Amino acid sequence: MQTEVIVVGGGPAGLMAAISAAQHGANVTLLDKGKKLGRKLAISGGGRCNVTNRMALDELIKHIPGNGKFMHSPFSIFNNEDIISFFEDMGIPLKEEDMGRMFPVNDKAVTVVRTLLDKLEELGVTMLTKTEVHDLLMDEDRIKGVQLADGTQREADAVILATGGKSVPHTGSTGDGYPWAVKAGHTITDLYPTEVPITSPDDFIQSKELQGLSLQDVALSVTNHKGKTVITHRGDMIFTHFGISGPIVLRCSQYVVKERKKKPDNLVTLLLSLYPEAKEESLFQQLVTLKKDQGQKSIKNVLKAWAPERLLLLLLKKSSIPSDTRTEQVANESLRQLAHFFTRFPIAADGTLSIEEAFVTGGGVSIKEVHPKTLGSKKKDGLYFCGELLDIHAYTGGYNITCAFSTGYASGKAAAETLQPFIQ
Ligand SMILES: Cc1cc2nc3c(=O)[nH]c(=O)nc-3n(C[C@H](O)[C@H](O)[C@H](O)COP(=O)(O)OP(=O)(O)OC[C@H]3O[C@@H](n4cnc5c(N)ncnc54)[C@H](O)[C@@H]3O)c2cc1C
């Protein structure tokens, strides 16, 4: 007798859960409401799919700011190296890019999806698309199956929920799993956008004068209402028509959301450093030296290598230095202000784009109510959770898909083994 397992949701978590459950001996049915499986996976990583990250596990966990420690257990069952082996064993070699990011060699996310589907076919998993789950069937103690939107019921010994978060809803991630989890006795922690561009009411953003300007290897800090730095990320960013975006902005975004939540009436101050290694005082001294050596030239010309022109003009304006002023005429006090802006230029944040526009949903099924090794519910026997539906979220860089595959695999294995003590 085989354990009957239903997996709801065919994103990376559900696809891997179904594979793992089948590999561990279950009879598996995978249900997804979309026309195709793996829709978000197919557009991930700019269509290239940053399938995992090759960092050492401790480092990997540091890149999962949303309950990363919980991942120690799922990673002990299926981790980033297992993901790499999985694809390589299926004939899909991966390549490593900067910061440990792993991509398929052919740069095609659809190959990743196809590989997972091939494996599911090979394992005889029943895959039903355009099949929307409407509710869970359960009694006091355990899960019984699922109710479909067309009214039919499907019984199962175990149900794995892999319905994802609420971000980018056209891929099918519309938050359907949250009310089912609540019905089964679970808590859903606050949902919020993360890995999302930041909005700013600042005049230089609203005027769009910096729109499209990108900065490389700068540092961005989020400060709290007491002016203390909460987090700093270093890397690249870009100014947009509504605020700022790019890798380090996405990483800072959740901290902006949290600070705004604590003090909804306050704007959050971000500090941009164009020179993350430099001290303000040493920049000031360099400016004073330039004033002595190149005093006849306009300040704008003397400093043209210091920052992209549009940003330099803004920093000069904010330091009350007309850009055509001869450098020798600039007061040291103004140069000090300029040095300050090169290392700590304030950008006010009034929020982020919406949860639907975010790359990732923060919050979800509380991990306190889920067994870390099995991803099984502590509230309802036979119910399992995996992927972004859980209150686990990571930075961009392959970490979210890694969490989805890992929790998917661990939950599939455990679900397949659900009835094993009873099946003889
Ligand atoms: C544009 C973009 C790029 C990204 N790039 C990366 C990247 O390169 N690396 C990375 O690590 N992360 C990336 N992410 C994040 C990553 O894609 C997600 O964290 C991951 O897809 C979550 O996987 P999941 O399986 O939990 O959920 P999802 O991928 O959201 O899948 C959920 C599935 O459940 C189905 N479903 C929902 N409700 C129902 C229902 N009622 N009945 C039946 N089926 C249902 C949906 O149709 C969907 O197929 C990216 C996200 C976006 C939006």
269 lines ligand 1 (CB under 6 A): no
104 lines ligand 1 (CB under 6 A): no
Q: Is 245 helix (H, G, I), strand (E, B) or coil?
A: strand
Q: What is the architecture of the domain spanning 4-192+359-422?
A: 3-Layer(bba) Sandwich (3.50)
CB atoms within 10 A of CB 67: 20
415 lines ligand 1 (CB under 6 A): no
Q: Is 215 helix (H, G, I), strand (E, B) or coil?
A: strand
Rounded distance from Cα 75 to ligand 1 centre (Å)? 19
Same fold, 194-276+346-352 and 291-345: no
Nearest atom, ligand 1, residue 39 CA: 49
The dihedrals phi and psi of 220, each to the nearest 5 degrees, come to -125, 130
Residues 229-264 pLDDT 10s? 999 999 999 999 999 999 999 999 999 999 999 999
Rounded distance from Cα 223 to ligand 1 centre (Å)? 31
User: Which pLDDT value is given to residue 421?
Assistant: 56
User: Which pLDDT value is given to residue 289?
Assistant: 97
65 lines ligand 1 (CB under 6 A): no
353 lines ligand 1 (CB under 6 A): no
Q: Where are the domains of the chain?
A: 4-192+359-422, 194-276+346-352, 291-345
User: Which pLDDT value is given to residue 418?
Assistant: 84
- Contact by Cβ (8 Å): 404, 11: yes
pLDDT of 399 strictly over 70: yes
How far is residue 180's CA from residue 169's CA, in Å, rounded to a whole number?
18
Q: What's the whole-number average pLDDT of the chain?
A: 96
- Contact by Cβ (8 Å): 406, 78: yes
User: Which pLDDT value is given to residue 420?
Assistant: 66
Nearest atom, ligand 1, residue 163 CA: 34
- Would you mind telling me the total number of residues written for the chain in this entry? 424
CATH class of segment(s) 291-345: mainly alpha
The residue whose CA has the least distance to atom 11 of ligand 1 is 398
- Contact by Cβ (8 Å): 387, 407: yes
- Enter the pTM of the model: 0.95
Q: Can you name the CATH fold of 194-276+346-352?
A: Elongation Factor Tu (Ef-tu); domain 3 (2.40.30)
- Contact by Cβ (8 Å): 328, 311: no
Rounded distance from Cα 57 to ligand 1 centre (Å)? 23
User: Which pLDDT value is given to residue 423?
Assistant: 47
The residue whose CA has the least distance to atom 5 of ligand 1 is 44
72 is written with which tokens? 């120690």
40 lines ligand 1 (CB under 6 A): yes
Rounded distance from Cα 116 to ligand 1 centre (Å)? 14
175 lines ligand 1 (CB under 6 A): no
Q: Is 22 helix (H, G, I), strand (E, B) or coil?
A: helix
Tell which one of 390, 400, 402 to mutate to probe ligand 1, the residue whose CB is within 8 A of the most ligand atoms.
400
66 lines ligand 1 (CB under 6 A): no
- Contact by Cβ (8 Å): 385, 372: no
Q: What percent of the chain has pLDDT over 90?
A: 98
Rounded distance from Cα 96 to ligand 1 centre (Å)? 22
- Contact by Cβ (8 Å): 255, 209: no
What is the residue whose two structure tokens read 């040493």? 282
9 lines ligand 1 (CB under 6 A): yes
How far is residue 327's CA from residue 335's CA, in Å, rounded to a whole number?
10
Nearest atom, ligand 1, residue 401 CA: 11
- Contact by Cβ (8 Å): 267, 205: no
Q: How confident is the model at residue 1 (pLDDT cuts 50, 70, 90)?
A: confident
Residues 261-312 pLDDT 10s? 999 999 999 999 999 999 999 999 999 999 999 999 999 999 999 999 999 9
Rounded distance from Cα 387 to ligand 1 centre (Å)? 8
| 218-to-127, 233, 236, 238, 284 alpha-carbon distances in Å | 46, 8, 6, 11, 18
How far is residue 415's CA from residue 402's CA, in Å, rounded to a whole number?
20
Tell which one of 401, 403, 407 to mutate to probe ligand 1, the residue whose CB is within 8 A of the most ligand atoms.
401
pLDDT of 205 strictly over 80: yes
What is the residue whose two structure tokens read 């800072």? 252
DSSP 36: S
